[in-house]
Amino acid sequence: MTQYTSRRLTPTDADFQTLSDVEQLFDPDDFGSAESQREEYEAFDHSYLYEEYFIEQDGRPVASFRFHETPSMHVPGKVRIWLMTAKEASAELCEFLVTELEKKIAEHPINRAVGPVNEEYTALMAALERHGFRSVLFQVASKLDVTTFDSSIYAPLLNKLAEENIQIKSLDELMKTDPAWERKLYEMQFIARSDIPRKPGVTATKVPFAEWRKQRQRSDFKPTLWMVAVTDNGDYVGTGNFWVRDPEHRLADNGFLGILRPYRRRGIARALKVTLIKQAQRERIQSVYTSNEQNNPMLQLNLQLGFVPQPGWHQMDKRFDHSGV
């Protein structure tokens, strides 16, 4: 039997590099640098629960897991989980990984854990299922080949919005021309996030402005790849962005895209996406990845824009009973 051990991440250069190495095992095509791992860690509000661990074999990291509360959607006792190991990881390693996750969760008054697992990671899925995790939602992943995208067919849409006094502007431009850009974007994003349909009893938590600002100060924050729908009187009514994390600047992940309710069904979401893709072409990004719940209308928009389905993600969920403790 293989001997595995676990240890907690310490916020050092060496461990952030180790985290980058594990993420490269998990996804050789899309992984963050040690710098971006540190920035993500430091941007988190650590007044909320956050723990991250490595699984090692003979001193060599082969997996990791994380669980944390969610500041922007805080529910007492609920944590998000994130597990990483190679796609071809053995059943034995995956069993140890999930067992260690549950051991650490048991040290806290946690009553629910939920997080994504890609359907191709079959050994990891099986280990979670043996421990009582169940898939409660399936998200369809998709990928766009940016290099072949033809934006010219969407010119009439952008012209139509301009006639309705709505323009799509980059955050790079707004940072130079609108002194109030930061507070306006912060407020607009919170309203848009709050208006997303959710399960009864689940509501958005307003992250303090200072914490929200920290997330904008990371190296993967690209103002040129952040678009805002702006009215002629300067109101922000929609926003969307791409995150670029890989060291080669070839791949991007789709960020949050939201439109204020009074401005929906006017083509603003499509215009934001098209403008982002055009800018991604200028910056020589090759591919953009995203995922959507299978019944989400945004999935159809992405497919219409040319995104191609990829292996999807199960949201794995487990409830914990502390009544006997």
C-alpha span between 133 and 65 (Å, rounded): 15
pLDDT of residue 197: 59
C-alpha span between 130 and 86 (Å, rounded): 19
Q: Which fold is adopted by the domain 4-138+313-319?
A: Aminopeptidase (3.40.630)
Contacts of 276 (CB under 8 A, 6+ apart): 225, 227, 240, 241, 242
> Token digits for 244?
């670029």
pLDDT of residue 325: 47
pLDDT of residue 201: 57
pLDDT digits (tens, 9 = 90+) for 42-92: 989 999 999 999 999 998 999 999 999 998 888 899 999 999 999 999 999
Domain ranges for the chain:
4-138+313-319, 150-305
Structural contact between residues 277 and 144, judged by C-beta atoms closer than 8 angstroms: yes
| CATH 3.40.630.30 fits domain 150-305 | yes
Closest alpha carbon to 132 in 150, 171, 105, 156: 105
4-138+313-319 and 150-305, same CATH topology? yes
pLDDT digits (tens, 9 = 90+) for 314-323: 999 999 986 5
Structural contact between residues 44 and 217, judged by C-beta atoms closer than 8 angstroms: no
- Taking the CA atoms of residue 8, residue 14, residue 20 and residue 26 in that order, the dihedral angle to the nearest 10 degrees is -50
C-alpha span between 309 and 143 (Å, rounded): 7
